[in-house]
Structure 1
Amino acid sequence: MPHAVDFTTVSTAGLESSPVAAALAGLRANEARYFKNKYDHVFTVEPAGDVQSTVDWVHRILDEERGIVIASRPLEATAFQVENIRMAYVFYESGLSINVMYTVDDGGKRAVGFKLSEGMEVPAELASFKFARQKSKLAGTIRGSYFVVKGEY
């Protein structure tokens, strides 16, 4: 069952098995605040097993575009559309967050973003990426990277 992510009172609900649960919860709350402020969209998540099609879509793009297979277990996921952008997020037990931004219009922006929670190591499958640092009141220091999606999904 979907639940809205509260960015005023950060909760680790659904992420408790992560060794960096507090930082991952802050990262999830940071995303919720962004979508509320930019698009007036309430960011909701569900257990990954309940939205397997979303997880599969993200994993298919990773595999077909770059041959990336994420080793960590997905904990939560969500998919939604704001304006003409299809968004999908998967939050992993390791503290990794992956999002897919897929503009519905032909020729629009399409990318996969990776964000690492504070306190986690760069996963081996993402070692070839360079990560930029960003400070967040909710999540501490977030390290992020991305790649442009070239295919049609």
Structure 2
Amino acid sequence: MGQVVDFTNVSTEGLESSPVAEALAGLRANEARYFKNKYDHTFTVEPADAPEAAEIIEWVARILREERDIAIASPPLQATVANVDGIRWAHVFFESGLAINVLYTLEEGGKRAVGFKLSEGMEPPEELAAFKWARQKSKLAGTIRGTYFVIKGAYWP
């Protein structure tokens, strides 16, 4: 059983090695609040070295590699996957403060995209420098910068 992310009492547990641990914890809590409010889903993360997390991390890395030839330089700290309303949502949180989510609709022809979010205080990593970033405010995470791309291929694991 993984760690339930509490968005009321934000904790840096599992993220302590990040130079922006507080901001990354806020970003993780922001995701947890979204899933609780939208889908009544409890957001639970696994350490990156857990077998369940390793599968998620590899699936996300494969999509990045095959779609855009992107390899994230920062080590992953935690990952999670949720299957809600016919959508597989994978999240990976990296030591640098980067969070990646994959929205993968299970039904053929549905929405499929990769989203990138930067914790407050983090600059875009070199491997994502070509993207344009939008800003959004969050009570839990401060200013989040985000971008995304649409997935064209099929990547059901």
- The two structures have a TM-score, normalised by structure 1, of 0.99
Q: In 2, Cα distance between the equivalents of 1:69 and 1:99? A: 15
Equivalent residue runs for 1:46-57 within 5 Å: 46-50=46-50, 51-57=53-59
From 119, 130, 133, the counterpart of 1:131: 133
Partner of 1:43: 43
Is 1:25 matched with 2:19?
no
1:84 aligns with 2:121: no
Distance in 1, Cα, partners of 2:60 & 2:87: 15
Q: Which runs of 5+ in 2 are unaligned?
A: none
Q: In 2, distance between residues paired with 1:130 and 1:81? A: 29
Structure 2 distance, partners of 1:69, 1:30, is: 25
Deviations 1:85-130 (A, max 9, x none): 0010000000000000000000000000000000011100000000
Shift of 1:138: 0.2
- Deviating runs (4+, > 4 A) in structure 1? none
- Residue equivalent to 1:71: 73
User: Counterpart of 1:97?
Assistant: 99
Q: TM-score, normalised by structure 2?
A: 0.97
Instruction: Quote the Cα distance in structure 1 between the aligned partners of 2:46 and 2:55.
Output: 12
Separation in 1, partners of 2:82, 2:35: 11
CA distance in 1, matches of 2:86, 2:149: 20
AA at the equivalent of 2:104: Y
Cα distance in 2, alignment partners of residues 48 and 89 from structure 1: 11
1:49, distance to aligned residue in structure 2 (A): 1.1
Secondary structure of the equivalent of 2:49? helix
What is the Cα-based RMSD across aligned positions, in Å? 0.5
Aligned residues: 153
* Cα distance in 2 for residues equivalent to 1:85 and 1:106: 11
- What is the aligned-residue identity percentage? 73
Displacement of 1:77 in angstroms is: 0.2
5+ unaligned residues in a row in structure 1: which ranges? none
